[in-house]
Amino acid sequence: MLDGWIDLRSDTVTHPTPAMREAMARAEVGDDVFEEDPTVRRLEEVAAERMGKEAALFVASGTMANLVSLLTHCGRGDEVIVGDQAHTFLSEVGGMAALGGIHPRPVPNQPDGTIRLEDIEAAIRTEDVHHPRTRLIALENTHNRCMGAALPPDYLQAVRALADRHGLRVHIDGARIFNAAVALGVPAAELARHADTVTFCLSKGLCAPVGSLICGPAAFIREARRVRKMVGGGMRQAGVLAAAGLVALETMVDRLAEDHRRARRLAEGLAEIPGIRIEAHRVQTNIVIFELDPQLPLSEEAFLAALAERRVRILRWGPRRFRAVTHYWIDDTDIDQALRAIAEVVGQAMRGPHLS
C-alpha cells in the first residue's frame, strides 16, 4: 500500500525503497554527457552484463529508450515491422514517425503477445521503388496489452532466424523483460540474446524512480549516445538516479515472482466475482486485464469512482476493460482488500440502485 491507497494502476507508481534512497544520497557523480559519472558507468556495465550485450546506455524513460533505439537502427523512410498492440506503436506518441520519419508496419499480435512468423514474413517489403525498406522487427517482452505475456526463447530464436534470412535486425522492447525471465525460469540474457538490441525499465517492477537502459553492440551504443543527445536525453550528474537503478538490479529481480503470485491470486479472485469477465489462466506475470460484463448496469466512470471511494485504484484499459498491476508496494492484504472492494461495487450494481 502506498500513501494509504491500494494503487494497482501500474508498476510505475512504485516509490524507491529505503535502500535506494540511501544509495542516491551517497552516490558518486560526474557529468554523464562527458561520460564522467562513475555510478552511471557502473550501471551501464551491470545492465550490459545482465543482458549479455557488449554495452549499455542509461536514458530517462522506456519511451526514450525505444525511440533512441529505433532512430539508431533506421533512417528516414525505413520501415519497422511491429505488433498492432505494441507499446511502440500505440503508446509512444508516434515518435518513430514524428521524430524519425520511420514508417511502422503493424501486424496482428496474437493473444500470447507473439506475432506469427508468416505474418512477419508477409510484411517484409520487396525491393521495389514504391516501397519503404524493411529494416527492423520490433517485439515486446513481456507484452503489456496481451496480459503481460512472456515471449519464450524458442519463439525469439525463430524470429531471429527469420530476420537473418532477410537481412533484418531485431529489437526487443523489454520494459518488463525481467518479469518474463522470472516467469519463464531463464536468465534475462537468454531472452535478449536473439535480439540485436533490447531495452528495459528500472522504474516499473524494479521499483527505481527513473530510468531505462538500451543494451546492444558497442558500436550501436556509441551511435545511440549521439541520438540520445539529439533528443535531449543527455543528463549531467545522473549518478543520483543510476544509484537507485543499481540497487534495483541487485535486490528487485528475484522477488518479482511474488508480484506474479499476487497477480494470479487477484485474477483467480476476480474470476469468482459475478459480473467480472477474465481469462485468469492467461496471467503469467504481474499484469491482470479484466472486463465488466456487458449486462452489468455499471459504467466505467462509476466503477472507478466507487473503487476510489474505497481507496483502490485501477486503470481503464478500453471500453469496459481495466488493468491491474502488482508491484513491490502491494502485499497479500492489499489483494484481499482490492477483491473485497471490487466484489462490493459490482454486487451493489447488480442489486441496484444502478450506478451510471
How does DSSP assign 196-233, residue by residue? Answer: SEEEEESSSTT--SS-EEEEE-HHHHHHHHHHHHHTT-
For residue 237, tell me if it sits in a domain: yes
Are 217 and 54 contacting, i.e. CB atoms less than 8 angstroms apart? yes
Q: Count how many domains the chain has.
A: 2
Task: Give tens-digit pLDDT for 251-264.
Answer: 999 999 999 999 99
pLDDT surpassing 70 at residue 354 = no
Q: Residues 261, 332: one domain?
A: yes
Residue 177: what pLDDT? 98
Q: Residues 177, 284: one domain?
A: no
| Single residue among 251, 284, 312 that ends a domain in this structure | 251
> Dihedrals φ, ψ of 22, to 5°?
-65, -45
Q: Residues 106, 171: one domain?
A: yes
Q: Which three cell numbers stand for residue 11?
A: 508498476
Q: Residues 278, 216: one domain?
A: no
| Single residue among 220, 251, 282 that ends a domain in this structure | 251
For residue 233, the enclosing domain spans 18-251
For residue 160, tell me if it sits in a domain: yes
Q: Residues 237, 266: one domain?
A: no
- How far is 119 from 122, CA to CA, in rounded Å? 5
Are 89 and 82 contacting, i.e. CB atoms less than 8 angstroms apart? yes
For residue 323, tell me if it sits in a domain: yes
Are 53 and 190 contacting, i.e. CB atoms less than 8 angstroms apart? no
Looking at residue 80, which CATH number applies to its domain?
A: 3.40.640.10
Identify which of 91, 48, 89, 51 has the alpha carbon closest to the alpha carbon of residue 70: 89
Give how far the C-alpha of residue 273 lies from the chain's centroid of Cα atoms, to the nearest Å. Answer: 28
Residue 355: what pLDDT? 47
The pLDDT > 70 percentage for the chain reads 99
Task: Give tens-digit pLDDT for 239-290.
Answer: 999 999 999 999 999 999 999 999 999 999 999 999 999 999 999 999 999 9
Q: Which three cell numbers stand for residue 157?
A: 530464436
| Single residue among 184, 219, 251 that ends a domain in this structure | 251
Are 196 and 162 contacting, i.e. CB atoms less than 8 angstroms apart? no
Q: Residues 245, 263: one domain?
A: no
